[in-house]
Structure 1
């Protein structure tokens, strides 16, 4: 039987992968670092600090997974994780996890990467063409880890792939990120204060992100694969789509806050490998995903109110 170990399984993307993995016939073992979520009765949860190599060895030896889906990384608080020293610790931990996985007979590994590995001045990001020249510790550490994983896989004949995530949004997103913060503000009847919003980005609903990783895990595709929609859209258009759905366009305030210094005007994924080689396409278009996200946030404890 296919047996998968999912790290970061209580996180934003990881938690959405569990039911899909179960539906696809995996025996799922999910790793959480602090508390054990009750997300699914169809998987086995493990409490482990993956920064402690002893815990890594214990959980991998106990589970003996055939597959590894590695999402765990440093706590991704917006504005903080880009320069966190924990990024360097997670490179070490991820390599130890990879080594233990192979030593216990592991066959296929997929790890979560980031569009921050690319040189953002190019805008349109292709795994084959676009240079990788990250300028943050987060991007640098992810880039370094991907290169080592590639080399290790070639040396040991381990099957591996690397999913570079672009701009996910949806249920359980950190509340201060763009989409969630706009939704929360408008649901509360408060102004949604944004930058000019002309930046063009590539957004993908989080369930689609998780499903793309499961498809990549089940495929034989190796190397880096962009995980995005491939559809460019201006941030201001996303904001107004949210406002139109909620019915509070009057509360949108573009230009109310400054954009980040040296912010890239364009960041969009080339999803040719994802669609043609992995054979995966998203189930949610932008409006469908935003509606799902709005419903989730409206039913959460963050707003204190309900709308029809």
Structure 2
């Protein structure tokens, strides 16, 4: 009999890529969504997890042995401070408890680099202090703390995928790489900061691959999901401008840096690479090209 996996946030930026990978696995796939959907390979369940009791009803119906919990508010310029973070924390706890009480075996939940103390720049699961500066990061960190303690009190296996900076097809158009690419494709000025911030970017397909690999493993605790390499925002933007032959439209220094934005954020990926045995399938340059080509197709 196939093992059942339930994935939340299945229609989101990361979720759609996770589903593609899971379709090639031996899992019986169940996915939660707020809209009616049909798929011969996936059991879709219409469910609003923010409604009290909905998570319990869903778990009771599906009774999955694996849970990949991706759902959360990720709307740009909103998710950092929206009170909905508190609702997602509450809904996630309800989901986790129901999963454990109905025979769940393995759960992976996505976290964020915003849990770390950004003053340190280099983020290691075992070394860098956790000191979130936003409501989003605080709620995620609280969930991770509870997940860790709860796993010691129950029989479930748990892991926490701490995601850094993502890019790729289907990204929200307000995010950095997509917004710059769209501006240049439209022949519009791409106003940017000086771009000296160094960030750790990973393509969404690789993020999904790492999460699915983590879900099917027995590795526990927090694991950074990132490339482990830094690139400046300026270099990233120039890369896009060069690919589209529109460097003339890029204006650095037109957007002020946020006072809360750190100069450096890079992940220690030794747990991901050495303990999980995971590596990206393509080079960074190949992934950037894929992303730009996908946006080009949206204009063709």
TM-score w.r.t. length of structure 1: 0.94
Aligned-partner Cα distance in 2 for 1:42–1:241? 38
Aligned-partner Cα distance in 2 for 1:44–1:189? 43
Q: Are 1:216 and 2:214 counterparts?
A: yes
Corresponding residue number in structure 1 for 2:59: 60
Corresponding residue number in structure 1 for 2:22: 21
The structural deviation recorded for 1:127 is: 0.2
Secondary structure of 2:49's counterpart equals: coil
Q: Is the 8 A contact 2:7 2:31 kept in 1?
A: yes
For 1:32-181, list aligned pairs within 5 A: 32-33=33-34, 35-36=35-36, 41-74=40-73, 76-181=74-179
Q: Is the 8 A contact 2:105 2:155 kept in 1?
A: no
Corresponding residue number in structure 1 for 2:8: 7
Aligned-partner Cα distance in 1 for 2:40–2:295? 24
The structural deviation recorded for 1:298 is: 2.1
| RMSD after superposition | 1.2
Secondary structure of 1:185's counterpart equals: helix
Structure 2, gaps ≥5 residues long: none
The structural deviation recorded for 1:37 is: 5.4
For 1:271-290, list aligned pairs within 5 A: 271-290=269-288
Aligned-partner Cα distance in 1 for 2:36–2:295? 22
Aligned-partner Cα distance in 2 for 1:164–1:70? 12
Query: Which deviates more from structure 2 when the two are superposed, residues 152-161 or residues 50-59?
Result: 50-59
The structural deviation recorded for 1:157 is: 2.3
TM-score w.r.t. length of structure 2: 0.97
For 1:194-233, list aligned pairs within 5 A: 194-233=192-231
Q: Is the 8 A contact 1:205 1:284 kept in 2?
A: no
The structural deviation recorded for 1:41 is: 4.0
Secondary structure of 1:145's counterpart equals: helix
Secondary structure of 1:111's counterpart equals: strand
Aligned-partner Cα distance in 2 for 1:238–1:100? 43
Q: Is the 8 A contact 1:78 1:177 kept in 2?
A: yes
The structural deviation recorded for 1:172 is: 1.4
Deviation string, structure 1 residues 278-300 (Cα, Å, up to 9, x no partner)? 11101132211111111222223
The 1:167/1:37 distance shift into structure 2, 3 A limit, reads farther
Q: Is the 8 A contact 2:182 2:295 kept in 1?
A: yes
Aligned-partner Cα distance in 1 for 2:90–2:126? 27
The structural deviation recorded for 1:272 is: 0.3
Q: Is the 8 A contact 1:10 1:37 kept in 2?
A: no
Aligned-partner Cα distance in 2 for 1:181–1:37? 29
Aligned-partner Cα distance in 1 for 2:27–2:249? 45
Deviation string, structure 1 residues 44-87 (Cα, Å, up to 9, x no partner)? 2111010123221221111111100000112x221211111111
Aligned-partner Cα distance in 2 for 1:49–1:87? 15
Secondary structure of 1:127's counterpart equals: coil
Aligned length: 299
Divergent runs of 4+, >4 A: none
